[in-house]
Structure 1
Amino acid sequence: MQDEELPPFFAEVIPNVTVPRGRDARIPCVIDNLGSYRPAWIKVEDKGILSIHQQVISRNYRISLSTSDNRHFVLHIRNVQESDRGGYMCQINTSPMMSQVGYLDVLVPPDIVVEESSSDVVVREGSNVTLTCKARGYPRPAITWRREDNEPIPLGAWKNGKKTQTLVQTYEGEFLTVTRVSRVHMGAYLCIANNNVPSPVSRRIMLHVHFPPVIWIPLQLVGAPQRANVTLDCHSEAYPPAVNYWAKDNHKIFLDNDKYTLSVRKGGYKAHMQLTVRQLRERDFGTYRCLSENLLGSTEGSVKLYELSPHSRQQQSLDAHQADRHPYGRSSYHDGKYFASEDGFSEDEESQNGIPRQDASLGVSICAGASATLVAAFVPMVLRCAN
């Protein structure tokens, strides 16, 4: 019996093909002993005939056919789209019909669904907030949250009436919920959609946490002699950003002049204010107020600046041994000014030196002499005194 009298058969299994959207797909059908039979390509889902033998029937301009030696029939789909996903049947018009099916899978890179995702969010401190990020793509993208500054995200949960807090670098899921949001949550968050189809995409969402001003005065009681220069410190936190200023008696201090120098260093919702009072005179002593105001409220703190009697040069200086044993920490001299360190003290040191320990809630610094020496400082901030 000769080959042409044998029935046709599929020489190879039609493979399943996976391509990213926009690429070209190639689906082969290999038949032996075809003889006078005519193969056809058919789209399984809608039963649409794409080609018969060597002739393309489909009106889809992206579909073409290549053949060789009456054995290979390759279906080509250019610029593959999601609508092309599905089964493709190579059918031979025998009786009964013979067919094989290969499946085309179309990968779609992730895309953020903007209309279903959060934009920038403003929330009051203490409220609950949920950030939403939706994405489309195939396979379905996974959503990962992280902070833009790479700081960990504080997430809390309630258990037995108590709030527990966990710090996480990333969080998985479409919804990022923060209970009782605080100022530490404020910042830019990135939701990243990834399904391993190049390339991942992200959306930036700013979380603004509004709260009224709070103030921290590190040194509330400062002593210095006349003619010294003194720098007072005040720290504030507020959002929206506050208007910060100093005042003495009923006089607001907004601008530098011959008597005052103002300095403000800002970072995020924090501000560090300094007021330098130069060439102290009797009228300069008294209470200085640090004030902070925004749309949600206002607050103030105060520093009492009092006068010290001048001391002799000998009394002004501390040798290295005395400085090391000073009950309020180690002091250092630089550029004509004395600085207090953050060193703590012990009860033994207190008794050895015979100097009573100051109240930690107050913070006391004393400056004396023409080039004033720092005698005491019980806070982590620096009082600077100089001519």
Structure 2
Amino acid sequence: MPYFVYFKIYNARGLRTPTISHITQEQIRDIGGQVDLDCSVHYAQDYPVLWWVERNLYEYTESLQLSRDRQLNTFIVLPYAKKQMKYDRQKTTEALPLSSNSGLIIRDSRFSMRFDAASATYTLSIKDIQETDAGWYQCQVLLSVSNKITAEVELQVRRPPVISDNSTRSLVASEGESAQMECYAGGFPPPKISWRRENNAILPTGGSIYRGNILKLNSVHKEDRGTYYCVAENGVGKGARRNINLEVEFAPVVTVPRPRLGQALQYDMDLECHVEAYPPPAISWLKDEVQLSNNQHYRISHFATADEFTDTTLRVITIEKRQYGLFTCKAQNKLGTDEGQVQLFETIIPVCPPACGQARYSSAAPPALAAPHTALAAPHTALAAAAAALAALAAAR
């Protein structure tokens, strides 16, 4: 006849060893929500039962992905460099006691405890959940000073994205070099990162949107400079955005809008060059390889229309015969030099502007210049005479 033998395990005090038969599975909640965490314990009438919470000392973002090794009691962090690093769990979290048996230890009206004797279940309730409530909640049965039984449940709190401080804020690169902008964000669920340019301009990588934490440019051009947007979204809130300014250093490019200009003697004339460069260049004007400066014959002015654009003007004052010829505007920065040339030649009739309203003729000015004014007056006299004749004819009738 078969028979069965039953064994009961007792501790040194002759009592059954407590066990945790059930604990709530992972919970995900919104800010302001409510959650109940259950822990069912058997044979623990004579032992303290506690709830603890372990909260992160810093927030893990997409740049620092976290996995947990329960056996080694460590966190394994996998950064984008693909190099594993292990951090002692005690150094990355803080542990706080919340309750003992059916009573609260923490003084926070959002927390409450209840005990159901029938199921031997200790329930920790949290209302008006905050971001800081996220963490690992641990149910403990203390057997001795050095021995305890534990079970854990993770509470995740949905949080809107926040751009991390280790993301790129601004970047300066020289033309032809490679450059990369990085963007990371905290939040739950883990945010997705995308890149755009101002006014939805085409990205150097192609297309108007790029997805990923790192936007890499293999060879930057001056056309790539401007504002880039890092956008983090996870479906919670409106998302987050950071503006990243990319400055591209490049050698000067000089353009001359009017390479040939004419003006009469004793009048002023403005010679112009447009300069595009970054960093801002040193600009100079030369004639016959001699650098010019401000004096009674010349006046130089620079007007910056943007960080990379400068308009430079050389005014030749009261032109003399020796001042006609070839002028050079030269721009130079640490990346290179460029120049443009303007030819100033003599004319008989003054050019306006900048000669408008000027009266710089000397007493020896050629009288022929006054003739056009006399000729222009003649038609007005003839018209007046014709009008008078018509009026007289009408009166006679």
Q: Which of 174, 193, 208 is equivalent to 1:124?
A: 174
Q: Identify if the C-alpha distance between structure 1 residues 41 and 205 changes in structure 2 by more than 3 Å, giving closer, same or farther.
A: same
User: 1:175–1:221: structure 2 CA closer, same or farther, 3 Å change rule?
Assistant: same
Structure 2 distance, partners of 1:206, 1:129, is 12
* Pick aligned residue for 1:18 from 29, 42, 51: 29
Seen in structure 2, the aligned counterparts of structure 1 residues 67 and 263 have a Cα distance that, compared at 3 Å, is same
After superposition, where does 1:1-387 map in structure 2 within 5 Å?
18-20=29-31, 23=32, 25-27=34-36, 55-56=102-103, 59-62=105-108, 63-65=111-113, 75-77=124-126, 79=130, 81=132, 83-84=134-135, 104-115=155-166, 117-147=167-197, 149-150=198-199, 152-156=201-205, 166=206, 168=208, 170-198=209-237, 200-255=239-294, 257=296, 259-260=298-299, 262-310=301-349, 336=356
Distance 2:241 2:28 in 1: 29
CA distance in 1, matches of 2:179, 2:341: 35
Cα distance in 1 for residues equivalent to 2:132 and 2:349: 87
1:240 is displaced (CA, Å) by 1.0
8 Å CA contact retained: 1:256, 1:262: no
Cα distance change, pair 75–254 in 1 and its aligned pair in 2 (3 A): farther
Q: What CA distance in whole angstroms lies between the structure 1 residues aligned with 2:222 and 2:53?
A: 57
Farther-moved stretch of structure 1 (217-226 vs 237-246): 217-226
> Distance between the aligned counterparts of 1:295 and 1:206, measured in 2?
21
Question: CA 1:154–1:79 in 2, change beyond 3 Å: closer, same or farther?
Answer: closer
Distance in 2 between residues matched to 1:286 and 1:195, nearest whole Å: 66
- Supply the distance in 1 between the matched residues of 2:303 and 2:295 (Cα, whole angstroms): 12
- Give the AA of the match of 1:132: E
Shift in CA distance, 138/226, structure 1 to aligned 2, threshold 3 Å: same
Q: 1:141 to 1:17 in 2, by over 3 A?
A: closer
Aligned counterparts of 1:233 and 1:286: Cα–Cα separation in 2: 15
**Runs of at least 5 residues in structure 1 that lack an aligned partner in the other structure:** 1-13, 30-39, 89-101, 157-165, 317-331, 338-368, 371-387
Q: 1:114 is aligned with what amino acid?
A: D
Residue 66 of structure 1: CA displacement?
6.4
Any conservation in 2 of the 1:236–1:271 contact (CA below 8 Å)? Answer: yes
1-side partners of 2:51 and 2:250: how far apart? 65
Which digits, 9 at most, give the CA deviation of each residue in 1:253-278, with x for residues without a partner?
Answer: 34365643524233121212222223
RMSD: 4.5
Question: Contact 1:286 / 1:304 at 8 angstroms: preserved in 2?
Answer: yes
Per the alignment, in what secondary structure is the counterpart of residue 176 of structure 2? coil
TM-score by length of 2: 0.54
Alpha-carbon shift at residue 242 of structure 1 (Å)? 0.5
- Local SS of the residue matching 2:223: helix
Residue deviations 1:148-176, cap 9 Å, x none?
x53514324xxxxxxxxx452x4332111
8 Å CA contact 2:29–2:35 kept in 1: the answer is no
Instruction: Give the SS at the match of 1:65.
Output: strand
Task: Write the deviation string for residues 283-326 of structure 1: whole angstroms up to 9, x where unpaired.
Answer: 22011110101112222111111112449xxxx9xxxxxxxxxx
Counterparts of 1:25 and 1:278, CA distance in 2: 81
- Which residues of structure 2 form unaligned runs of 5+? 1-24, 39-48, 55-69, 71-96, 140-152, 358-368, 371-397
